[in-house]
Structure 1
Amino acid sequence: MQYQTKQWRKLTGEYLRNYIEDEVHGALLREKELGHSLKVCIGTDSQVKGAHTEFATVIVFVRKGRGAFMFLNNETTREKMSIKQRMMTEVSKSIEIAYHLSNVFTNHKVDMEVHVDINTSPAYKSNAALKEAIGYITGMGFSFKAKPEAFASSSCANKVVQ
């Protein structure tokens, strides 16, 4: 299945012209030619805005010691969700794109992590989804990071939904 390119864009707002897997492949080739060592982090965050919930998913390309860049997309739903359901929807959106792109990352020998905007402290409501999220992500064979190390979801995607 190929993802529509009109949904994915750069942080500048420029829409990607090709399918996301082709754009990621091209980005990895360009960065490799420039001598950059990369790690990719995928994360999703959401924001409830009245009757709507907006989700932002990001693919962050971290150039070790040389900054980062990202591709992103937004989706909106009118479905009412509990906090746990919303957290697991975020995880599901990240897993979906990570799984879709996993062969590209494997072929380029690039490490990839799934970042979740779920707090590891039981004092926070999002923590109710932590065990299920960890099981889902690791069960799919991916590495994960949760708050406070999950910058792709907690910082990058968060800035796109505010």
Structure 2
Amino acid sequence: MEQDQQKWRKLDGTRIMQPLVDEIRDAIVREKTMGHELKVCIGTDSQVKGRGTEFATVIVFVRKGKGGFMYINEAISGVKMTVKERMLLEVSKSVEVAYELNRLFTLYNVDMEVHADINTNPDFKSNHALKEAMGYITGMGFEFKAKPAAFASSACANKIVQ
């Protein structure tokens, strides 16, 4: 399912007006031409606010040793859900983006990880979704990262929904 390109933006607020796949291809070609070695981390975080839940999905490009940049997609859901349901919806949003872009990353030899904002400590409520999230992400053939290594979701996307 192709993402609605009108919802994607850069960190500076610039809206992505072309299809996401084209934007990401252009970014990869530009960065590779400049000699950067890239890794991509995709993650989603959410925050319950009143009766709704705000979601932010990010595509973080890491220029190994030289910083990075990211793309952001925000969405709001009015559906009430449990913590586990919310965690799995976050993972689903990240996997959908990873699946859409995976061919590009393979074609251009860019490593990709899917980050889940799920705590590996069983004392946290989000941990109840850990096994399902890990199974979903790895079952799709993607590399899985959870907290504390999941910076795309727990740091980058988190800053958007706060």
The one-letter code sitting in structure 2 at the alignment partner of 1:110 is V
Q: Is residue 82 from structure 1 mapped to residue 82 from structure 2 by the alignment?
A: yes
Instruction: Output the CA distance in 1 between the equivalents of 2:54 and 2:3.
Output: 19
The one-letter code sitting in structure 1 at the alignment partner of 2:91 is V
SS of the equivalent of 2:93 reads helix
Task: Give the corresponding residue for 2:20.
Answer: 20
Q: Offset of 1:2 from its aligned partner?
A: 3.0
Instruction: Output the CA distance in 1 between the equivalents of 2:3 and 2:43.
Output: 17
Give unmatched runs, 5+ long, in structure 1: none
Give unmatched runs, 5+ long, in structure 2: none
Instruction: Output the CA distance in 2 between the equivalents of 1:137 and 1:101.
Output: 14
Q: State how 1:65-80 maps to structure 2 within 5 Å.
A: 65-80=65-80
Task: Give the corresponding residue for 2:115.
Answer: 115
Q: Offset of 1:153 from its aligned partner?
A: 0.1
Task: Give the corresponding residue for 1:95.
Answer: 95
Q: How many residues align?
A: 162
Task: Give the corresponding residue for 1:33.
Answer: 33
Q: Offset of 1:4 from its aligned partner?
A: 2.1
Task: Give the corresponding residue for 2:136.
Answer: 136
Q: Offset of 1:18 from its aligned partner?
A: 0.7
Task: Give the corresponding residue for 2:46.
Answer: 46
Q: Offset of 1:145 from its aligned partner?
A: 0.5
Contact 2:84 2:126 in 1 (8 A): yes
Contact 2:57 2:94 in 1 (8 A): yes
- TM-score of the aligned structures, taking structure 1 as reference length: 0.99
Instruction: Output the CA distance in 1 between the equivalents of 2:116 and 2:160.
Output: 15
Q: Which runs of 4+ in 1 moved over 3 A?
A: none
Q: Offset of 1:61 from its aligned partner?
A: 0.2
- TM-score of the aligned structures, taking structure 2 as reference length: 0.99
SS of the equivalent of 1:119 reads coil
Instruction: Output the CA distance in 2 between the equivalents of 1:142 and 1:5.
Output: 23
- What do the CA deviations read for 1:83-125 (whole angstroms, capped 9, x no partner)? 0000000000000000010001011010000000000000100
Instruction: Output the CA distance in 2 between the equivalents of 1:44 and 1:2.
Output: 17
Cα root mean square deviation, aligned: 0.6
Task: Give the corresponding residue for 1:151.
Answer: 151
Q: Percent identity?
A: 64
Instruction: Output the CA distance in 1 between the equivalents of 2:25 and 2:132.
Output: 31
